[in-house]
Amino acid sequence: MRADLIIVGAGMVGSTLALALEHSGLDILIVDGSPLSVAPFDVQAPFEPRVSALSMASQRILERLGAWQGIATRRACPYGEMRVWDGSGTGSIHFAAASVHAETLGHIVENRVVQDALLERLHDSQIGLLPGARLEQLRRSGDDWLLTLTDGRQLRAPLLVAADGANSAVRRLAGCATREWDYLHHAIVTSVRCERAHQATAWQRFTDDGPLAFLPLAGPAGEHWCSIVWSTVPVEAERLMALDDEAFCIELSKAFESRLGKVLHADRRLCIPLRQRHAKRYVEPGLALIGDAAHTIHPLAGQGVNLGFLDAAVLAEVLLHAAERGECLSDERVLSRFERRRMPHNLAMMAAMEGFQRLFQADPLPLRLLRNVGLDLVDGQAEAKALFVRQALGLAGDLPELARA
Ligand SMILES: Cc1cc2nc3c(=O)[nH]c(=O)nc-3n(C[C@H](O)[C@H](O)[C@H](O)COP(=O)(O)OP(=O)(O)OC[C@H]3O[C@@H](n4cnc5c(N)ncnc54)[C@H](O)[C@@H]3O)c2cc1C
């Protein structure tokens, strides 16, 4: 089977790229090892443990691609405020969408919901979709890439995009170098029911072992649900995972200073080792890496997939402009335009997250004092906070058309 463009990975980021190129006239094939089926949404079903805080920029991209409707009609929780505080001091900071005249800071959405809304759109499009297609081998064949799937099928295309996630097979098989290191943190994720309402606020407490986030979910009337991301050192994560539900809820309430009252119930827990990874290059002739295949960052600011959506939107824009000018899309000079626009932005975000994480894990007293005073100081600076809010909305920097107002 041959196509102009093959996208490996129909996750949130790969699907977004395919839809952004829907009207490009390119013959596109998107392949994924999973069945790519869309289950009917059941509002009574428990929350999925994996959620994302989608920025305004991501919302705009998904709206323009016709996928936001599918999210809004399933389940999404808007939040207008964010409260961050230092668990070992008195420093705190509060951000509000209203400070930049925005309605929300973003939406907390289950990854499954985003994925299904995108897949629904893909199934309705003319884009070639190949489910159950797991990439096993990759090599150059003339001007094409030749892909061999685990069942022996072969696919070829002059342009290949890796959107196959953090452990990208494309990246490995193409020999793309990465810089990576362990955060020495695991993240425990689950959904919890709290005694008190979440107030449409994303809460984050920095504990001595790492950040603990409570993200608001749209639960049934009268119930107060949050998704939690509890990042901590591996040995502590193992201990917390081994606790029974009741003991886990007690420990969680304590670690969160019972800001939302008692944690009354916790769903199934997942424990995810956190690793920072960044490809040294996002492109080579005929190949581009996007989303987690190009970079994974600490979830403390909830930016991973937001960066991925911007990658997809910028790559689509670069390819569409190049096609208009009659350029060869697999030319490295064309693909480098995507890398030049996205790499500095992604690196800056990763560096900021790294700095935050180190500052809040620092033990020496002067650093603790500094960060507490710093938090309070910034909290009093309306302009500095407005800048941060614009970053959180994803509206800072070089935005692709799809993310602009
Ligand atoms: C604890 C935690 C919390 C997070 N919270 C947030 C948040 O609040 N906000 C945010 O923006 N981000 C968050 N992230 C990051 C976010 O989850 C990721 O950035 C996002 O899921 C990456 O999407 P992707 O499409 O690039 O990759 P993936 O979602 O990993 O998709 C990859 C796809 O490729 C397919 N695939 C893989 N290998 C092959 C192969 N060999 N052949 C064919 N197909 C293949 C898979 O089946 C899958 O469909 C969080 C991450 C973690 C760990």
Residue 209 has a pLDDT of 87
Ligand 1 geometric centre to CA of 11 (Å): 7
Q: Which residues pair with 296 in a beta bridge?
A: 277
Is the Cβ–Cβ distance between 227 and 189 less than 8 Å? Answer: yes
Neighbours of 284 (CB within 10 A): 17
Please identify, by atom number, the ligand 1 atom nearest to the C-alpha of residue 166.
30
Element (H, E) at 270: strand 270-279
On whether residue 19 sits in a domain, the answer given is yes
Under the banding of pLDDT at 50, 70 and 90, the label for residue 247 is very high
pLDDT > 90? residue 107? yes
Nearest CA to ligand 1 atom 20: 305
For 41-109, give the DSSP string: P-TTSPPPS-EEEE-HHHHHHHHHTT-HHHHHTT--EEE-EEEEEETTSS-EEEEEGGGGT-S-SEEEE
Residue nearest atom 14 of ligand 1, based on CA coordinates? 304
Q: Which atom, in ligand 1's list, is nearest to the CA of 303?
A: 11
Q: Is residue 252 part of a domain?
A: no
Supply the range of the domain harboring residue 285: 5-37+45-180+275-403
Condensed to tens digits (0 to 9), the pLDDT of residues 383-405 reads 777 777 777 788 888 899 999 98
Cα angle 213-265-268, degrees, rounded to a multiple of 5: 75
Give pLDDT tens digits for 110-159.
Answer: 999 999 999 999 999 999 999 999 999 999 999 999 999 999 999 999 99
Specify if 268 maps to a domain: no
Which of 17, 51, 52, 191 has most ligand 1 atoms within 8 Å of CB, for mutation?
52
Contact 31, 3 (CB under 8 A): no
Q: Report the nearest-CA residue for atom 21 of ligand 1.
A: 305
Q: Which of ligand 1's atoms lies nearest the C-alpha of 168?
A: 38
Dihedral sign computed on CA atoms, order 105, 108, 113, 115: positive
Atom number of ligand 1 nearest to Cα 187: 1
Containing 365, the helix (H) or strand (E) segment is helix 365-379
Distance CA 115, CA 393 (A): 21
For Cα atoms 52, 56, 57, give the angle at the middle one, nearest 5 degrees: 95
Ligand 1 pocket, CB under 6 A:
8-14, 31-34, 52-53, 134-135, 163-165, 169, 187, 189, 229, 272, 291-292, 299, 302-306, 308
Under 8 Å between Cβ of 168 and 40: no
Residue 155 lies in a domain: yes
Is the pTM above the cut of 0.85?
yes
The residue contributing the CA closest to ligand 1 atom 12 is 304
**pLDDT averaged over every residue in the chain:** 92
Q: For residues 267-294, give the mean pLDDT.
A: 96
For position 109, which CATH number holds?
Answer: 3.50.50.60
259 in a structural domain = no
Query: What is the rounded CA–CA span in Å between residue 294 and residue 350?
Result: 12
| Contact assessment for residue 255 and residue 207, using Cβ atoms and an 8 Å cutoff | yes
The percent of residues in the chain predicted with pLDDT above 90, rounded, is 77
> Can you tell me the mean pLDDT for 317-327?
98
Would 320 be classed as within a structural domain?
yes
- Domain contains 378: yes
> Residue 101 and residue 122: Cα distance in Å, rounded?
34
CA of 304 to the centre of ligand 1 (A): 8
Domains of the chain: total: 1
Sole residue written with tokens 């939040």 = 79
292 domain-assigned: yes
